Amino acid sequence: MPRIFITGSTDGLGRAAAGALMGEGHDVVLHARTRERAAALSDLARDAAGVVIGDLASAAQTRELARQVNQIGRMDAVIHNAGVYLEPSRATTADGHAKTLAVNTLAPYLLTALIFRPDRLIYLSSGLHHAAAGSLRDIDWTRRSWNAAQAYSESKLQVIALALTLARVWPDVLSNAVDPGWVPTKMGGPHATGDLEKGYLTQTWLAVSNDAAATVSGGYWYHRQRQAPAPQARDPAFQDQLMGQLAALTGVALF
Ligand SMILES: NC(=O)c1ccc[n+]([C@@H]2O[C@H](COP(=O)([O-])OP(=O)(O)OC[C@H]3O[C@@H](n4cnc5c(N)ncnc54)[C@H](OP(=O)(O)O)[C@@H]3O)[C@@H](O)[C@H]2O)c1
């Protein structure tokens, strides 16, 4: 049975994906931000392949999280699901980064670099990435006035670019990005009009299915259909420039 690690599995889409995969008998490694938040996993933890703890806003804790995952063993798939949405301010992390960039972009980048390479990688993005201007001039928001929606959109463009870079340079790995739609979670809010189940079944399918349609790389998906992401996400020059910046900001080179 495949073993899958899902970041941010205490709530929302990550928790729902974990429950669905465990219900199918897969081995799932769960993740909580803190020991206190791990209490939200008490019902799932007993049948899980492990529970790992770490705040993705912290580079040190993200590195420690990767160590905990590697200690359990190699994953067949990793779903980079955890994310934050409209942060009221830059909310500078202990490492000096904008929290949105740290959690949504730097953490998946670091975990990708530090976790033993799985067969499949899935990154949760958003249709809102289309609203990103796509400039890489100030991705850590040190010179611009804070704009929460813009920061979120940019981070979601960046994770698609990361997914598609990996598809390009790691031919032995299936790497894809997913837009779950606007769905009623803590992040999506109670008025979200999307179907919660459809919001997580694409990433579980990409993680474990052997269907020909699911065993592809370099896709940007919505409800199991491939969509066209913003052009920059597919642009090798944009991708390379972004990877260079992420390597500089984290001190870890992926390639
Ligand atoms: N819901 C939507 O409408 C929607 C639309 C498009 C894209 N997405 C994307 O889908 C993914 C999941 O969203 P969701 O709606 O399920 O969100 P959610 O209900 O807010 O859950 C987010 C998960 O990420 C975890 N998390 C947040 N910050 C963290 C940190 N610093 N360290 C570790 N874990 C952290 C949360 O932990 P805590 O429970 O401890 O906070 C929670 O488990 C996100 O990447 C989001 O951008 C969602």
CA 213 – ligand 1 centroid, Å: 26
Per-residue pLDDT tens for 183-201? Answer: 999 999 999 999 999 999 9
Strand locations in the chain, DSSP E? 3-6, 27-32, 50-53, 77-80, 120-124, 174-178, 220-222, 225-227
Burial annotation 37-76 (CB, 10 A radius, 16+ → b, else e): ebebbeebeeebbbbbbbbbbbbebbbbbbebbeebeebb
pLDDT of residue 44: 97
Q: What's the angle, vertex CA 203, arms to CA 140 and CA 156, rounded to 5?
A: 20
pLDDT of residue 131: 96
Q: What gap in Å lies between CA 163 and CA 161, rounded to an integer?
A: 5
Residue nearest to atom 44 of ligand 1 (CA): 83
Per-residue pLDDT tens for 91-105? Answer: 999 999 999 999 999
Q: What gap in Å lies between CA 159 and CA 220, rounded to an integer?
A: 11
Ligand 1 binding site (Cβ under 6 Å of any ligand atom): 8, 10-14, 33, 37, 55-57, 81-84, 103, 124, 126, 180, 182-183, 185-188, 192
pLDDT of residue 134: 79
Write out the two tokens for 129.
């990435």
pLDDT of residue 8: 98
pLDDT of residue 159: 98
Per-residue pLDDT of the chain (255 residues; tens, 9 = 90+): 899 999 999 999 999 999 999 999 999 999 999 999 999 999 999 999 999 999 999 999 999 999 999 999 999 999 999 999 999 999 999 999 999 999 999 999 999 999 999 999 999 999 999 999 878 999 999 999 999 999 999 999 999 999 999 999 999 999 999 999 999 999 999 999 999 999 999 999 999 999 999 999 999 999 999 999 999 999 999 999 999 999 999 999 998
Q: What gap in Å lies between CA 56 and CA 28, rounded to an integer?
A: 19
Q: Which sequence positions are flagged as catalytic?
A: 152, 156
pLDDT of residue 133: 84
pLDDT of residue 116: 98
pLDDT of residue 198: 97
